[in-house]
Amino acid sequence: MKAKKQENEVSFGFVRVAAVSPRCKVADVAFNCAEIIRTACEAQRKGAQLITFPELCITGYSIRDLVSQDLLLRKAEEALEKIMTASRTINAVLVVGLPMAIDGMLVNVAAVIDHGTILGLVPKSYLPESGEFEEGRWYRPGHDLLCKEVELAGLTVPIGANMLFTSKTLKGATMAIEICEDAWVPIPPGAFHALAGATIIVNPSASNELVGKAAYRRDLVKGHSSTRICAYVYASCGPGESTTDVVFGGHCLIAENNSIMAESELFERNGTTIMADIDVKKIMHDRVISKSFGENTRVVNASAYRTVKMDLPDITSADIMRSINVHPFTSEKPGMQKYIVDTIFDIQVNGLIKRLEYTGIKKVVLGLSGGKDSTLTYLVAIKAFEKMGRPLTDIYAISMPGPGTSDATKALARKLGSATSFEEIPIVGGVAELLENIGHDGSTQDITYENAQARYRTYLLFQKCNQLGALLAGTGDLSEIANGYCTFNGDHISGYNVNCGVPKGLVKYMILCAISYFKNGALKDVLTGIMSHPDSAELTHAGKGTITQVTEDKVGPYELAEFFLYEFVRWGSEPKRILYLATAGFKGKYSEAVVKKWLKSFYIRFFSNQWKRSVAADGPQVGSISLSPRGKWRMPSDAEVAMWLAELE
């Protein structure tokens, strides 16, 4: 019986899939049937909703000439009926393989079973006829079939390769099947299935093991999930198959859009089951924003497909089995840190070099505060000038301590700036005069007081650029412009902003990596000191030499804000989905109430500050998220946020 959905359970677009390679005895249909039912029940108890078994799993793939035996074929159909009957109490859709005699020919089919009924039969389209495989000796390809329906177990069951099985309740959850060799041909059936609407391709397979074949198979499955923008569930038969000439390892794989979500060990003699939660909403979103995917659907004859509804139950919000990457802009994978850092530096450095070459400008000016953003810009400038073979003295790092600047950051700026031309220009007097000119008392630390400092610094930097014939390199990062935590016509603008595509967490990540990579001991010490201080604009103060203004007190934890940004912009996720994912991903660190508070704040800030992003300076995109008005994000400056906030009430 299908479990009744509780009122407080919410679907967020996840489907739990399983790939099973059960224990097998060649031609022992009763044993294989019992194993299929047993392992299906075990997988369903763990929440599996779609369970895929290997090719010809009811009889065993390696039956060879025994497939012509009437007894074997009859017992295989009887076993299919037993599995169908057992499925009445299994809250999952099953895909099992068996040989069948149809239209006077033998066909290798996958049966789709759902809560006590057989939804359809999908025949194998391409039969391997080389090397150790000779399936054409026994079977005929699916396109030779004349019938579109068969009578089976008292049911009229549709049969054909062009079938889509779609969920009655979960939008976008549509499954299609290709069998083993179908995935290895130049234009696999699964490609057409995906273009016709399938978001999950399952492959009941029988792939023997050879040296290097597992790696090739893994790349094949991963690649199919990428080019089709889909999930791919692959289940191959195991070591219980005949070993007369070849050996099977039971390799099972689950991939989603170029990522391996789960993979089995090889040669598990007691069988193996792997599971993963597939994010259907992300698959659908990627297809929508990929214009070429939509254009490619024209090659598919959609009218040739038949759609069958299936009871694919929803995953509840309390039941997720999926790693949530709460730091999507960085990577914890071994060996990836240096690659990410080196690639971003290369993008920033070459972007800056191109701008300097095009304009003919020989020098760079930047504001060096002793904070993290300006430090990254400074490192980029140094790398750029080293690559161009130009003297570092043509980099002018300007420190402009103001009323709120702490002694520690002033000292760090001086030490860091010593590698290039460096100048310290105090702005206390200039800011006081500016405030006096507009009738401000000069002591009330309001927004006018803060912005006066930011704008005065930018004014000085541009004047310095005029004086030196230099380009102003910007320092503002992606997180600041997303939250609008920047001063319009202040740190918001520059000649070229190398940090515009780098969120705050990634800025920190790059500096931390730089600390471990750089050999210069003095520079490493300075960078370590910079990383020890909280993020602060230092535009307010309580007393001399202290930091009282912490950025995260206003915009919330940057790691939360960046997770919100990534889900909102990259995936178009709804507020409740973002709230759920963040609460689950940061479990034990932030409560749901805290996440909701800062998510509301993020929406308000993001919507109300688009006007700043609409006139942002040029700068390079380094990842999948860009808020450039000339590139990936074009939003009206006066869009209403009410609908998004209402979802969080």
Residues carrying an active site annotation: 55, 124, 180
Tell me how far apart the 2 most distant CA atoms of the chain are, in Å: 100
Q: Which residues pair with 151 in a beta bridge?
A: 156
**Radius of gyration, CA atoms only, the chain:** 31
Q: Checking DSSP bridges between strand 496-497 and strand 470-474, what pairing results, if any? A: parallel
Q: Which residues pair with 306 in a beta bridge?
A: 163
Three-state SS for 503? coil
CB atoms within 10 A of CB 38: 14
Location of structure tokens 């794989």? 253
Structure tokens at 305: 């497909």
Task: Evaluate whether 473 touches 495 at the Cβ level (below 8 Å).
Answer: yes
Task: Evaluate whether 560 touches 470 at the Cβ level (below 8 Å).
Answer: no
Q: Which residues are within 8 A (CB) of 154 and not within 5 positions of it... i.e. 6 or more apart? A: none
Task: Evaluate whether 250 touches 267 at the Cβ level (below 8 Å).
Answer: yes
Residues written for the chain: 649
Cα–Cα distance measured from residue 310 to residue 22, given in angstroms and rounded to the nearest whole number: 24
345-384 burial code (b ≥16 CB/10 A, e <16): bebbbebbbebbeeeebebbbbbbbbbbbbbbbbbbbbbb
Cα–Cα distance measured from residue 396 to residue 500, given in angstroms and rounded to the nearest whole number: 20
Q: Which residues pair with 262 in a beta bridge?
A: 254
Residue 366 — φ and ψ, nearest 5°? -150, 150
The helix (run of H) or strand (run of E) holding residue 389 is none
